[in-house]
């Protein structure tokens, strides 16, 4: 006979617990994606460059990532309910500082405080949902969690664009405050402390310092690498080497130190190890497309921030629908098969974007994004369930912290690599295409003559020739960039197929 959980004894409904932990979690994720579209406005108000203003995003991501692996330690040290209320208040305090910021430096400090508060929400909410939902409903729990993460990532740019265009960028931070106040009340009423008997000694200051010295240089390299030519720049090389050394030291220290802030030995759990790899793979595809598609439609199709966000909206609807379907399927179908189907759908949808051209309509993006949303849910729900269901309950917060850290690092790499590949491939295609712009190439001569004739109606012959050459050259640059996006989508589609066999390496119990 199954023992009733504390939540069942207190008669707290699952839906109320879910809202209590997911509401602040979603808004902590929105704090990343919604601010991206406001960077030009922030730069304009404070008279800063775009690169300087980008630290508004980077500072939050670094602080957010640093908090992930220590969430388990914090939960045991301060108890779950106190920690959730504390980080909610810290997140709200950061939001207040941000919207009242008189300068860019104060805004960045506010974002760091926001990140410190927002970081633990993701692993804590994931651990809570896994614990309070019965085993047969854990797929539903992970579906709700995955839905919250994906919808916040998709809706964030659209919400940010609407607020910035119709109100001001400060409203991106103002809307957090009433939500967090409500969250604190719901957490106090509906979330119980963990019953874990784990004991944790004093804080591991050396391990935490190593974590900071790893993530801060790494994020700096990823942000500035493309601007400074990556490893052609000496300080990028030194900073990369320092980040790698700090990462190695952090891992070794955490494995050897008696009172470590996290437990890398959880990776000995085979399902957790494979699930972290595959979960990071899902994040790779999800955030590659979230980075590449808005970049494509804004730079080549002329869409504004709102239209760019709307072009992804069918993915959010798809995630909602398939969250329900996949959660039910996971109850009676081998979860490994469902995960494999998910990666197949991810591959199909990603490959379909290789058919993009500069004349596609807005509706073209609907079907591939529906398939992509389905693929995310088909892959994310069973993978997360299989990865975490075999972890000891008292180590769930530690495990979800490590799981989230791995996905956070992979996401940062994915966004940076996607942008770097688009730039690099665009230059390669330019080198090939520009070879066709000469007078021995008849199609070029015909197109140039037609353009010159058109401009000659209004301009002198020499000016018309210059304008015609400039127009064709800009078209060549657009074609090169288009082809670079196509190459990137093809590479990541191939990556999806490589991940499919890993889905069948999970160990599944017979019961």
DSSP 31-82: HHHHHHTTHHHHHHHHT--HHHHTHHHHHHHHHHHHHSTTHHHHHHHH-HHH
Does some domain include residue 90?
Answer: yes
Q: Are residues 244 and 182 in the same domain?
A: no
Residue with tokens 């693929």: 375
Q: Is residue 200 part of a domain?
A: no
Is 282 found in the same domain as 177? no
CATH assignment at residue 361: 1.20.1250.20
- Residue 293 placed within a domain: yes
Structure tokens, 365: 């993006």
Residue 476 within a domain:
yes
Q: How high is the pLDDT of residue 345?
A: 92
Structure tokens at 278: 């595959």
**Cα 365 off chain centre by:** 20
By CB atoms closer than 10 A (0-12, 13-18, 19+), residue 303 is middle
Max CA distance (Å), the chain: 91
For residue 199, being part of any structural domain is answered with no
What is the distance between the alpha carbons of residues 479 and 291, in angstroms, rounded to a whole number?
A: 19
Mean pLDDT by 10 residues, the chain (511 residues): 47 73 79 72 72 72 80 76 85 86 83 84 79 74 74 74 76 83 81 61 77 83 74 84 88 80 81 87 84 79 73 80 82 85 91 85 85 88 82 74 80 79 83 74 70 70 72 78 88 90 79 51
Q: Classify each residue of 31-42 as buried b or exposed e, where b means 16 or more C-beta atoms within 10 Å of its C-beta.
A: bbbbbbbbbebb
Closest of 172, 182, 178 to residue 57, by C-alpha: 172
Q: End of a domain among 260, 275, 304?
A: 260
The DSSP secondary structure of 396-412, one letter per residue, reads: HHHHHHHHHHHHHHHHH
pLDDT at residue number 202 = 66
Q: Domain boundary residue among 159, 174, 194?
A: 194
- The conformational region for residue 230 under phi > 0 = left, psi -120 to 50 = alpha, else beta, is left
Q: What is the pLDDT of residue 4?
A: 47
Same domain for 254 and 271, yes or no, is no
Helix, strand or coil for residue 422? helix
Two tokens at 264?
A: 């890398």
Residues 252 and 273 in one domain: no
Task: Let me know whether 152 and 222 are in one domain.
Answer: no
Residues 164 and 281 in one domain: no
Domain boundary among 151, 166, 194: 194
How many domains are contained in the chain?
3
- Specify whether 290 is located in the same domain as 247: no
486 and 341 co-located in one domain: yes
Contacts 24+ apart (CB under 8 A), 215-218: 215/62, 215/65, 215/66, 215/409, 216/62, 217/242, 217/243, 217/246, 218/243, 218/247, 218/409, 218/412
Instruction: Give CA–CA dist 151/136, Å, rounded.
Output: 24
The verdict on residue 54 lying in a domain is yes
Q: Does 11 fall in a domain?
A: yes
Instruction: Tell me the whole-structure pTM to 2 decimals.
Output: 0.77
Q: Are residues 356 and 466 in the same domain?
A: yes
Same domain, 209 and 188: no
Q: Are residues 371 and 439 in the same domain?
A: yes
Q: What is the DSSP letter of 191?
A: -
* Domain around 2: 1-194
Using CA atoms, how far residue 143 sits from 139, 250, 319, 327, 380, in Å, is: 6, 32, 9, 6, 8
| pLDDT value for 1 | 41
Buried/exposed code over 90-117 (b: 16+ C-beta within 10 A; e: otherwise): bbbbbbbbbbebeebeebbbbbbbbbbb
Same domain, 389 and 485: yes
Residue 214, domain member (yes or no): yes
């Amino acid at each position: 006979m199954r023992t009733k959980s504390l939540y069942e004894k207190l008669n707290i409904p699952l839906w109320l617990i879910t809202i209590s932990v997911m509401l602040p979690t979603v808004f902590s994720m929105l704090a990343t994606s919604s601010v991206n579209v406001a960077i030009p406005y922030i730069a304009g108000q404070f008279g800063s460059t775009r690169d300087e203003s980008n630290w508004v995003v980077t500072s939050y991501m670094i602080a957010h990532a640093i908090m992930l692996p220590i969430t388990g330690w914090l939960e045991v040290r301060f108890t779950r309910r106190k920690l959730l209320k504390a980080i909610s208040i810290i997140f709200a305090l950061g939001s207040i500082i941000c919207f009242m910021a008189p300068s860019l430096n104060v805004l960045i400090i506010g974002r760091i405080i926001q990140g410190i508060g927002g970081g633990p929400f993701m692993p804590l909410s994931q651990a809570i949902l896994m614990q309070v939902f019965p085993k047969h409903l854990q797929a539903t729990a992970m579906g709700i969690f995955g839905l919250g993460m994906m919808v916040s990532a998709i809706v964030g740019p659209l919400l940010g664009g609407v607020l910035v265009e119709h109100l001001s960028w400060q409203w991106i931070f103002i809307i957090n405050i009433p939500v967090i106040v409500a969250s604190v009340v719901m957490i106090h009423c509906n979330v119980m402390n963990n019953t874990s008997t784990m004991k944790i000694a004093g804080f591991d200051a050396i391990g935490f310092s190593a974590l900071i010295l790893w993530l801060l240089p790494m994020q700096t390299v990823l942000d500035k690498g493309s601007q400074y030519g990556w490893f052609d720049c000496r300080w990028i090389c030194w900073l990369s080497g320092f980040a790698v050394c700090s990462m190695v030291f952090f891992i070794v220290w955490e494995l050897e130190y008696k009172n470590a802030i996290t437990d890398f030995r959880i990776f000995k759990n085979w399902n957790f190890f494979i699930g972290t790899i595959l979960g990071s793979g899902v994040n790779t595809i999800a955030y590659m497309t979230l980075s590449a598609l808005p970049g494509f439609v804004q730079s080549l199709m002329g869409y504004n921030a709102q239209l760019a966000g709307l072009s992804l909206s069918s993915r959010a609807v798809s995630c909602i629908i398939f969250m329900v379907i996949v959660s039910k399927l996971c109850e009676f179908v081998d979860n490994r098969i469902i995960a494999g189907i998910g990666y197949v759908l991810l591959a199909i949808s990603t490959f379909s974007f290789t058919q993009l051209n500069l004349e596609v309509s807005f509706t073209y993006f609907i079907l591939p994004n529906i398939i992509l949303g389905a693929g995310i849910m088909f892959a994310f729900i069973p993978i997360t369930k299989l990865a975490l269901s075999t972890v000891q309950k008292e180590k769930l917060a530690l495990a979800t912290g490590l799981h989230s850290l791995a996905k956070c690092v992979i996401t940062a790499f994915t966004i940076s690599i996607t942008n770097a590949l688009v730039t690099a491939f665009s230059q390669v295609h330019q080198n090939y295409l520009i070879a066709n712009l000469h007078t021995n190439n008849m199609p070029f001569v015909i197109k140039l003559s037609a353009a010159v004739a058109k401009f000659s109606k209004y301009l002198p012959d020499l000016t018309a020739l210059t304008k015609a050459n400039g127009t064709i050259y800009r078209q060549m640059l657009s074609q090169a960039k288009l082809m670079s996006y196509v190459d990137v989508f093809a590479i990541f589609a191939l990556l999806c197929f490589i991940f499919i066999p890993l889905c069948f390496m999970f160990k599944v119990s017979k019961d």
